[in-house]
Structure 1
Amino acid sequence: MYKLLIMDDEPQILEGMKRILNWEQYGFGQIETCESTESAISKVVDHLPDIAIFDVCVGKNLGYEAIRTLNNLHIPTKYIIMSGYSEFKFAQEAIRCGVKDYLLKPIDRIKLQQVIEKIIVEDLKGTLGNSSNDRLNKDPVLGVSYDSLSKLVNRILLMIKTEYGQNITLKSVAERFQMNSTYLGQLFLKETKMKFSEYLMAHRMLLAQERIQMTGDKISSIALSVGYNNLNYFYTHFQSFFGKSPSDLRGKG
């Protein structure tokens, strides 16, 4: 079972973070909270959490300074910074400390979920789900177990899940793997029975569907959040994928 530590000086945020995900489904059996960097350092040393989520500013203290102190102790905890500030200086310092991600408040549940999944798979060498929870262990687009897919394809899926809101393409992924894009695309198609572009679109559509049904956000805002700068392009894909418009889906949701 994994251990989680959350640090923020606002009690309501601590409570919200404890409820934002079903942590137990991801294998977290212990969740600790604290409201100061001093307490956070002590709790990391005492409990050795697998993942710690720190607010960037707690009073006059900085979350990444606490992380820097803990890194000097060579504790293997993986850190996420959350912040109400989009200032480059804070993000830059957090990256220098080796944090896994820098999330802006209010925390996007789906984004946090993807970061946690990536840490579990890549850093903690775990798997998403277990025999008693097939939903977590199955890719929602492909409908197959992650365990049935190659390590390469799982890495591609993780890239899509974390970067779907950006201009991710088969070519950009291939460049990161230092592979030929045509060859990589053929491998992906052979294993998933879907083209890279088809999978990316389907993933974006499922995320858009969830946000349309679960939030009151504007359709244009949702389209942008899942990687569509062109609203007409989003509407065309959505209508083709679901057979109804975003407003129709919201009206019946």
Structure 2
Amino acid sequence: MYKLLIVDDEPQILEGMKRSLDWEKYGFGRIETSETYEGAISKAVEFLPDLAIFDVCIGKYRGYDAINKLNELRLPSKYIIMSGYGDFKYALEAIRCGAKDYLLKPVDRTQLQQVVEKIIVEDLNGTLQGVERDDLDTDPVLGMRYDGLSKLTNRILLIVKAEYAQNLTLKSVAERFRMNGTYLGQLFLKETQMKFSEYLMAYRMLRARERIQSTDEKIVSIALSVGYPNLNYFYSHFHAFFDKSPSDMRRKE
């Protein structure tokens, strides 16, 4: 049985994460929580979790600092960072400390499930009934395995995953890498066969579809949550991508 540690300084978030998945179904027989940095370090050293989920902000401390500390202690745990901020610096720190993924709050259940399943199969050498390993290691838009993509492209995909709800552009991404936007766009297109803007739109559409199918949120709220302040623009892209309206998809699904 696996062991899970969830760290967040908000008790309601801890309870929500404990209920977000059927953890027992995935083989987690023990779940511990902590609201403090010190408590997280202590509990992690005490029971050696197979998976630990850290909020990026734990009071005045940072979740990635706690992960770096545990890495120094050579704990065998795998880590996920969650955050209410889409700031690139947090996503970058998540990469640096070796976190397996960076999830934005409110954490999307489907995304969390996919990440947990991937960690179980890829890192914990577990098995999942009816889950194919290739599916877990394949980008949902590109249909390509992550390990077949360059480090630069994987970093760009991580930025999109972390900040798709914001006003994200190729130019803003290129500035972070101190690269020319046109050149970066050409590299991305050559490797993925998609323009950056096309990938971003497709990723937003997939996230929107997940919310439409799994929640009762109003369409206008879903549009905002995936980076579309203009509802008409969202409807236009959604219909072009899925050949049906958001309302039709909700009724038929």
Pairwise TM-score range, normalised by the shorter structure:
0.5 to 0.7
Alignment of 1:105-116 (within 5 A): 107-109=107-109
Give the paired residue count.
224
Q: In structure 1, the residue corresponding to 2:70 is in which secondary structure?
A: coil
Is the 1:219–1:246 Cα contact (8 Å) retained in structure 2?
yes
Q: What is residue 219 of structure 1 aligned with on the other side?
A: 219
Q: What is residue 175 of structure 1 aligned with on the other side?
A: 175
Whole-Å separation in 2 of the counterparts to 1:153 and 1:9: 33
1:75 pairs with one of 70, 78, 87: 70
Alignment of 1:33 onto 2:32: yes
Q: In structure 2, the residue corresponding to 1:42 is in which secondary structure?
A: helix
Whole-Å separation in 2 of the counterparts to 1:218 and 1:4: 33
Q: In structure 2, the residue corresponding to 1:74 is in which secondary structure?
A: helix
When residues 213 and 227 of structure 1 are mapped into structure 2, their CA distance, relative to the original with a 3 A threshold, is: same
Q: What is residue 64 of structure 1 aligned with on the other side?
A: 59
Q: What is residue 140 of structure 2 aligned with on the other side?
A: 140
Measured against aligned partners, the alpha-carbon deviations of 1:205-249 in whole angstroms (never above 9, x if no partner) come to 111111111110000000000000111100111111111111111
Paired-residue identity, %: 59
When residues 164 and 6 of structure 1 are mapped into structure 2, their CA distance, relative to the original with a 3 A threshold, is: same
Alignment of 1:89-238 (within 5 A): 107-109=107-109, 132-238=132-238
Deviation (angstroms), 1:108 = 3.9
Deviation (angstroms), 1:112 = 5.5
Q: In structure 1, the residue corresponding to 2:69 is in which secondary structure?
A: coil
When residues 206 and 34 of structure 1 are mapped into structure 2, their CA distance, relative to the original with a 3 A threshold, is: closer
Deviation (angstroms), 1:33 = 1.0
Q: What is residue 243 of structure 1 aligned with on the other side?
A: 243
Q: In structure 1, the residue corresponding to 2:32 is in which secondary structure?
A: strand
Matching residue's letter, 1:175:
E
Measured against aligned partners, the alpha-carbon deviations of 1:87-135 in whole angstroms (never above 9, x if no partner) come to xxxxxxxxxxx9x87965x644367579x68xx8xxxx97xx9995121
Whole-Å separation in 2 of the counterparts to 1:66 and 1:180: 35
Q: Which runs of 5+ in 1 are unaligned?
A: 57-62, 87-97
TM-score w.r.t. length of structure 1: 0.68
Matching residue's letter, 1:178:
R
Deviation (angstroms), 1:32 = 3.0
Q: What is residue 92 of structure 1 aligned with on the other side?
A: none
When residues 65 and 47 of structure 1 are mapped into structure 2, their CA distance, relative to the original with a 3 A threshold, is: farther
Q: In structure 2, the residue corresponding to 1:75 is in which secondary structure?
A: helix
Is the 2:11–2:35 Cα contact (8 Å) retained in structure 1?
no
When residues 196 and 246 of structure 1 are mapped into structure 2, their CA distance, relative to the original with a 3 A threshold, is: same
TM-score w.r.t. length of structure 2: 0.68
Is the 1:48–1:75 Cα contact (8 Å) retained in structure 2?
no
Deviation (angstroms), 1:144 = 1.3
Is the 2:41–2:70 Cα contact (8 Å) retained in structure 1?
no
Whole-Å separation in 2 of the counterparts to 1:22 and 1:160: 28
Is the 1:212–1:222 Cα contact (8 Å) retained in structure 2?
yes
